[in-house]
Amino acid sequence: MASLDDLKKRIASVKSTQKITKAMKMVAAAKLKRAQDSAEKGRPYSEKMNNIILNLSEGISDKENAPKLLSGTGKDQIHLCVVMTSDRGLCGGFNSNIIKKAKSYFSRLSSEGKELKIITVGSKGNDQLKRIFGDKIIENISFKNSKNANFFDAEKVSKIIIERFQKEEFDICTIFFNQFKNVITQIPQAQQIIPLKTDIDDKEKSEDNYEFEPDEDEILTNLLPKNISTQIFKAMLENSASEQGARMSAMDNATRNAGEMVDKLTIEYNRSRQAAITKELIEIISGAESL
Amino acid sequence: MSEEFKLEVVNPEKSFLSKEDVTEVVVPAFEGEMGILKDHISIISFLKPGIIKIYSKLGEEKYYVEDGIIEFKNNNLSILTSSIFNINDIEKNKIDEMLRVAEEEIAKDNISDQAKYLIDQKIEVLRTIN
């Protein structure tokens, strides 16, 4: 059995760990509030954008000559996967969930004989993927310096993607991120952004025709890159809310576990203290008896 | 019959402005300024740098935008833009800064004609509000 001194030290160390996890939980909770807020506020923009694009792509007259960003290259040989993770750890299964989802997608692609290229956003994803898929990663983007997800960063990412698309480096682009459902649940998502998937519900189809100024094609060519930025920005917002949520629940668990551990150690400490006292008493008594 | 319609201005971060009672909105559309009244035909258009004027019972409001898309449908006007400021709130040194950046950009020779045109517009508008 460990000595009393050792136990005392361990209790103290677990307690200070508990203090740290508790503080981290509080910080995550405060940040979560903000991230959740901005994720919710950001939704109307991306929804509206999506709507307009849907209406536009329906109205487009010449489907053959539609912009490539909408219709794709006509092939699906080379896949670009943008894996969006966080830059910081200690957030439970947040990063590994995205990675898991991405990895299963990757293995499906390779079993189908497709070529794979990866862009990682956020350093944690890069760390986890570079061991197995290191040769597939063509770019690693990290926004360690920006405090919150902002549109400017999203535009940077989309610029890189679009540039590569125009050089015909890939045919299909999918982004991986965690969708924020609530504090405990984040759902890893795979969303295809190039070519754009237009899954139109029939009931939402608008009946009336729009007037376009300038014409549809020009609007679409201008709008599609914007839409990609918007989708990436949405993913970033969802991700940051998810990250804080995941961190909060992970830290909550850690704090609780630390509490349990302190209890257990305290019992052990008290027992061994008692044992030592009993032992001493026995020694004294048996010494007095022998006189 | 009322002559009012709904206006919503959203930027990526949040819903910037939402009004139920606007009577007229003038937007700097790509092919010239466009005034929108109630029962305008459904339209989708682009914005170039310029001033959005919003008229309601309470008077007139002016906003500076750099880019954006507008959609008008069923008397709902949505303006999506990533850069919008109320002209009254914007600080003078910020305008100066933006003007400086724009002038630097236009001095580069590797930009396309369209980009050049847009920046030209931007400089002009910034000068007028300055």
Catalytic, out of A35, A80, A82, A91: A91
Q: How much is the pLDDT for A65?
A: 67
Q: In this model, does residue B121 exceed pLDDT 60?
A: yes
Average pLDDT over residues B83-104: 82
Distance CA B101, CA B16 (A): 25
For residue B9, give the chain A residue with the closest CA. Answer: A45
The confidence score (pLDDT) of residue A196 equals 78
Q: Answer yes or no: do B31 and A213 touch at CB < 8 A.
A: yes
User: How many angstroms separate the CA of residue B6 from the nearest CA in chain A?
Assistant: 15
For B25-84, the pLDDT digits (tens) are 999 888 888 899 988 888 888 888 888 999 988 888 889 888 888 888 888 899 988 888
ipTM of the complex: 0.76
**Does residue A81 carry a catalytic annotation?**
no
Mean pLDDT of chain B: 84
CATH assignment, B5-86: 2.60.15.10
- How do the pLDDT tens digits run along chain A, 291 residues long? 578 899 999 999 999 999 999 999 999 999 999 988 888 888 888 888 888 887 777 766 666 667 778 777 778 889 999 999 998 888 888 999 999 999 999 999 989 988 899 999 988 888 889 888 888 888 888 888 777 778 888 888 998 999 998 888 888 999 999 988 888 888 998 988 888 776 555 445 555 577 877 777 778 888 888 888 888 998 999 899 999 999 999 999 999 999 999 999 999 999 999 999 999 999 999 999 988
Q: Give the model's pLDDT for residue A203.
A: 45
Q: Which residue of A has its CA nearest to B71?
A: A52
Q: For chain A, which domains are there?
A: 4-18+251-289 (1.10.287.80), 22-250 (3.40.1380.10)
Write down the pLDDT at residue A99.
92
CB contact under 8 A, B12 and A42: yes
Sign of CA dihedral A213, A216, A218, A219: positive
| Closest alpha carbon within chain A to B81 | A45
pLDDT given at position A198:
63
Give me the long-range contacts of A12-20 (CB less than 8 A, separation at least 24): A14/A258, A14/A261, A14/A262, A14/A265, A15/A258, A15/A262, A17/A254, A17/A258, A18/A254, A18/A255, A18/A258, A18/A259, A18/A262
Question: Which residues of A make CB contacts under 8 Å with B?
Answer: 38, 41-42, 44-46, 48-49, 51-52, 55-56, 150-151, 154, 206, 208-214, 219, 222-223, 226, 230, 233
Does the beta-carbon distance from A212 to B31 stay under 8 Å?
no
> Is A213's CB within 8 Å of B42's CB?
no
